[in-house]
Amino acid sequence: MGKYVDVGVGFSENKDGFKAAKEAAAAAVKEFKGKPPTISYVFFSGDYDVEKLNKGLLDVLKGSEFIGGSTDAVYFNEKVSRNGVVVASIKSDYLHVGIASIDNVSSDPYGVARKAISDSLSKLPVDKYVDPYIQFKRMQKGSIKWMLKLPSFFVTVLMRGMKMPKMGDETKMIKGIAEEIGLNVPIWGGALGTHLEKVFSGKPYEIYVLHSGKILKDGIVIAVNSCSLVYGQSLDHGVTRTSTLGSITGVAADGYVVTSISGMNPVDWYAKSIKVSKEEFMKNAITLSQAHPLGVPDNYGGWIVRAGSVPVMDGKALAFTAPFVEGWPIYVMDASPEKLLSSSKAIKADIDDYNQAARDPQMLLAGLCASRRAIMGDGITKELKELRKVFKNAPMVGWSCFSEIGAKRGKPPACQHLCANVFALYDELLYELK
């Protein structure tokens, strides 16, 4: 329990969805003494009966807002679970949240996301006493720099990820959100999903988005946060470029299908670049393109990473889960496990540098790309331990993403792959920043 914000986390691996959800939620709000949380984040992994799971959440959290959904794996402090429920609850007079969710987002990702952020803004409650007072204190005691650098608002967005034949379309959703609120407000979150093995094997699956009792199968949920608390957000993939350079010379299907790389059949180019036979690449394209993803320069000295591709059109093209643009330069990247494990320190350093102080957070939310778990295997627990270590063992709840939305500090948000994506909340008020 903090001075300005209280947090609680809960976890259950009960095989019964109702009991698992109820146990995790009850543990998260245990110290709130019967007062409802401001917002709760809920993630689950495994073949739960979603209706029962939802009823378990409502049994504890009814009357308060909660958002989340299904995922490849869930993370609770230093534990990884492929069959469990995690809940993180936040209660603070200095945090207000407006939330909206809409189903059928794949029909118009840009338009639906734009409407969802607009609806979220209309539902944002404003404390006419506390909020103006904090703004006054920021003007009186703080500096204009911090009012611009660390806004009193941030956006959390969760959506269904790729579910063939429909791609995730996260980039279109980001554009829809930014069209309404601009890019000065941080946008953080990522795509929900299911067990990655189901995607690899082509088995049928659903992706569930949860919002305070609503269950969406093709949904997006957006939370606009009016926040007087210090917060930090950053992401990092840890991958490095190799010397193999190419360019996207042909695309189709809005950029989700690459038809030519450096004037070559993209399957031939990729196989040659990572020194495997075309037959081997065709057989193991998803795995190989995660271990050797493609990196696009982001104009800020960093990289936008695209991982995971599938041969289509009888091996004449490659389909990706996020789009490319014709003319983009690309590098083959090295995503070896030891490189991925460097991300925790990079994220902590990025947040501390941007906020100009090394702070100990009250709680962490972490979205770790499902490809990281696939590449690291059991080594993903090392990443959780390293994250907890660098953030001074703050309570941490997270999910295994199909994509990550966020940015290093000072950069615009983007849809990324292979990233560790961290949001940190601190028990300190914004006007205390000097």
The span from the CA of 425 to the CA of 406, in Å, is: 15
Select from 1, 4, 407 the least CA-distant residue to 228.
4
Select from 90, 101, 27, 104 the least CA-distant residue to 68.
101
**pLDDT bracket for residue 227 (50, 70, 90):** very high
Nearby residues of 244 by Cβ (< 8 Å), 6 or more positions away: 273, 331, 332
Does 308 have pLDDT greater than 90? no
DSSP string, 179-214: HHH-SSS-EEEEEE---HHHHHHT------EEETTE
pLDDT at 264: 97
The span from the CA of 425 to the CA of 33, in Å, is: 21
The whole-chain average pLDDT of the chain stands at 93
Does 128 have pLDDT greater than 90? no
CA distances from 7 to 10, 63, 192, 369, 426 (A): 10, 18, 23, 24, 10
In this predicted model, which residue has the larger pLDDT, 356 or 97? Answer: 97
**pLDDT bracket for residue 378 (50, 70, 90):** confident
Does 204 have pLDDT greater than 80? yes
The span from the CA of 339 to the CA of 326, in Å, is: 29
Select from 35, 31, 34 the least CA-distant residue to 7.
31
* Biggest distance spanned by C-alpha atoms of the chain: 67
**pLDDT bracket for residue 10 (50, 70, 90):** very high
Does 316 have pLDDT greater than 90? yes
Select from 425, 377, 376, 366 the least CA-distant residue to 401.
366
- Residue 138 backbone dihedrals phi, psi, to 5 degrees: -65, -40
Instruction: Judge contact between 69 and 189, C-beta under 8 A.
Output: no
pLDDT at 433: 78
Which residue bears the tokens 């006419």? 128
- The number of residues in the chain equals 434
Paired with 337 in beta bridges are none
Give the pair of three-digit tokens for residue 124: 């944002």
Tens digit of each residue's pLDDT (9 = 90 or more) over 14-72: 999 999 999 999 999 999 989 999 999 999 999 999 999 999 999 999 999 999 999 99
202 three-state secondary structure: coil
396-401/309-312 β-pairing: unpaired
pLDDT at 131: 75
Percent of the chain with pLDDT over 90: 80
